[in-house]
Amino acid sequence: MENLVSESQKASAISFFKDVQNRLLQKFEEVDGKAKAERKVWQRPEGGGGIIGVLRGSVVEKAGANFSEVHGENYPALEETYKGLPFFASGVSTITHMMNPYAPIGHMNVRLITVGDTFWLGGGADLTPFIPFKEDTEAFHESLRNACALQGSDAYKKYSAWCDEYFYIPHRQSVRGVGGIFFDHLKGDFDLLFPFVKATANAYVEVFPMILNRRKAMSYSESEKDQQLYWRGRYAEFNLAIDRGTKFGLMTNGNTEAIFVSLPPVVKW
């Protein structure tokens, strides 16, 4: 069985996740140009808590970057193997909805989970443009491809395919965007695996704001804005009906505001 991650390794992960949250919120402030992020600390009665970070502006319609660190005696497992064991979970997640329909939705999450005497790492990032641009898609994937190099020559191909599989919406019969990477249950030597998690988050912090800055000031029509709101519905459908992170947050009695920060501020069906 895997060795439990050490307390110093946990502390290192927590510190990194908090740093990513702060850097993302600063980037969102720079993209918007006027709005400032609001932070709210929350506590979980069973143990742990987190920090909600949200920015709402006239350019960045809604961006969230949340940090969490929770623990308890009974892991609410989706997998029967780990059900009922003591657990610890920490990570950072982010989602952005832009006012301009030419600017894409972006999502990223990285996390560390320990259950009983084992641990694993997971995460990923994906891009969901309403109006795709080839140069944006290529830049996004190239950044993640470089991060995946730490996991070997076939890692990007594997995790990119996993992303398309995970973010598939069955009732729409389509993937939710232009992809990215997704990985979960990475086990082994923490000191060898965590640099890849860090590289994934760092790549996103750099490439996604760059894409937003390319698109945020493009002119658009009322019709395009209206279509964007209907298209956002698919994002809401996935997060409410399918996403495992949403389910895990609710099963661990996480902060409801933090869990649903991913939902679009305005949407139509």
Instruction: Answer whether 187's CB lies under 8 Å from 2's CB.
Output: yes
Q: Within a domain: residue 58?
A: yes
User: Which entry of 97, 107, 141, 185 is annotated as an active-site residue?
Assistant: 107
Question: How many Å separate Cα 225 from the centre of its chain?
Answer: 24
What is the C-alpha separation between 28 and 199, in angstroms, rounded?
20
Average pLDDT, the chain: 92
Q: Within a domain: residue 65?
A: yes
Q: Within a domain: residue 1?
A: no
Task: Identify the segments of the chain with pLDDT beneath 50.
Answer: 1
Q: Kindly state the DSSP code that residue 261 receives in the 8-state scheme.
A: G
User: Is-catalytic flag, 71?
Assistant: no
Q: Residue 149 has what pLDDT?
A: 97
Q: Within a domain: residue 267?
A: no
Residue numbers of the domain that contains 74: 7-262
What is the C-alpha separation between 198 and 205, in angstroms, rounded?
11
Structural domain tally of the chain? 1
Residue 105 CB neighbour total at 10 angstroms: 21
Q: Within a domain: residue 185?
A: yes
Q: Within a domain: residue 20?
A: yes
Q: Residue 1 has what pLDDT?
A: 46
CATH code of the domain in which 42 resides = 3.40.1500.10
- pTM score of the predicted model: 0.92
Q: Within a domain: residue 186?
A: yes
Q: Within a domain: residue 2?
A: no
CA distances from 86 to 25, 47, 73, 92, 255 (A): 32, 11, 4, 21, 20
What is the C-alpha separation between 111 and 96, in angstroms, rounded?
19
- Residues 14-65 pLDDT 10s: 999 999 999 999 999 999 999 999 999 999 998 999 999 999 999 999 999 9
Q: Residue 263 has what pLDDT?
A: 83
What is the C-alpha separation between 233 and 226, in angstroms, rounded?
12
Q: Residue 79 has what pLDDT?
A: 65
